[in-house]
Amino acid sequence: MSKIAFQGQLGAYSHLACTMVNADAEPVPYDTFAQAIEAVEKGVAHWAMIPLENSSAGRVEEIYRQLPKTHLNIVAEHFQPVSHCWMALPGATPSWITSHPQALAQCHDRIQSLGLNSIVEFDTAGAAKLLAQSQDLTGSVIASELAASLYGLEILERSFEDISGNTTRFIILEKSNKACQFESGKSYITSIIFTVKNIPAALHKVLGGFATNGLNLLKIESYLDNSTLHSSRFHIDIAEHIDSPNMQRAIEELQFFASQYRWLGTYEAHGFRNT
């Protein structure tokens, strides 16, 4: 059976994303993102399910630091809605609630309305597991429906978050260094990281190359290169297949003004983008 690595405990939202993308693959939890990525690099797992950004919490900074260090490529993306559940042991009368800080913040108003004391834990599924092990009938937790099923907890309320629509974008990493085959009628995304040369208007000219070739930049992220404080690294997603003539012309111009360039992957755009 193929394995898909993720960071966190069984029952985490990353685990849920794994089951949604490939229900036949075995989800394998790791303590850190680096360990999950390394599992694929060493052939222990076939894929790594990695969160890149969240609609309410923003980008996952650590992943932008990890991507340049790995030789893995992005082969797919997945948008996972985050719907929190309030849960406890059967027969419990909760006076306190625990979860990851972001989950507690996203459910702040509901927690306040119930008069529960909040206790911070390292992650949602880990908090659920600890509560199940403790058998404390005064406790409750915010986690996924999958976590409730895995750890024998009773769901007291679904959609516990204050504002609906919270979504995490995941990327799926694999050893493959080939772009997915182009099919007419489908939408594609190409992800690239680069560092511009230290010359005037270099970034402007790089981005201008995509504009003059009629290409849509879906996102651009900048962050300092780990090795120096004098240059920034850029991560861009373009709504185009890597093999299109327009993309090839834009990349040729990019490489003229870039001191470093790496193609991260070309993959089919997730259907969530059309909603």
Does residue 179 belong to any structural domain of this protein? no
| Residues in CB range of 245: below 8 A, 6 or more apart | none
CB 234 within 8 A of CB 257: no
Burial of 100 by CB count in 10 Å (0-12 exposed, 13-18 middle, 19+ buried)?
Answer: buried
Token pair listed for 5: 């690595």
Residues in contact with 146: Cβ distance below 8 Å, sequence separation at least 6, in sequence order? 11, 15, 16, 19
How many angstroms separate the CA atoms of 225 and 130, rounded? 38
> Domain for residue 131, yes or no?
yes
* pLDDT score recorded for residue 58: 87
Q: What is the pLDDT of residue 57?
A: 83
CATH code of the domain containing 91: 3.40.190.10
Q: Same domain, yes or no, for 73 and 136?
A: no
Is 234 an active-site residue? no
Residue 194 lies in a domain: yes
- Residue 244 DSSP code: S
- The reply to whether 95 and 64 lie within a common domain is no
Residue from 98, 124, 168, 190 carrying the catalytic annotation:
168
Rounded to whole angstroms, how far apart are CA atoms 89 and 198? 59
148 & 170 share domain: no
255 and 126 assigned to the same domain: no
Of the candidates 6, 33, 160, 170, the residue annotated as catalytic is: 170
The pLDDT profile of the chain, 275 residues, written as one tens digit per residue, is: 899 999 999 999 999 999 999 999 999 999 999 999 999 999 999 999 999 999 988 899 899 989 999 999 999 999 999 999 999 999 999 999 999 998 999 999 999 999 999 999 989 999 999 999 999 999 999 999 999 999 999 999 999 999 999 999 999 999 988 899 999 999 999 999 999 998 899 999 999 999 999 999 999 999 876 665 567 899 999 999 999 999 999 999 999 999 999 999 999 999 999 88
CA 231 to chain centre: 25
Which tokens belong to 88?
Answer: 């406890």
CA angle centred on 202, ends 200 and 204, rounded to 5° = 105
Count of domains observed in the chain: 3
β partners of residue 147 = none
**The pLDDT of residue 229:** 59
pLDDT score, position 40: 98
Verify that 93 and 70 share a domain, yes or no: no
Owning domain of residue 15: 3-82+166-174
Bridge-based pairing state of the strands 26-30 and 258-268: unpaired
SS3 23: coil
Q: What is the pLDDT of residue 230?
A: 64
The yes-or-no answer on residue 138 being catalytic is no
Place of tokens 């997730």: 270
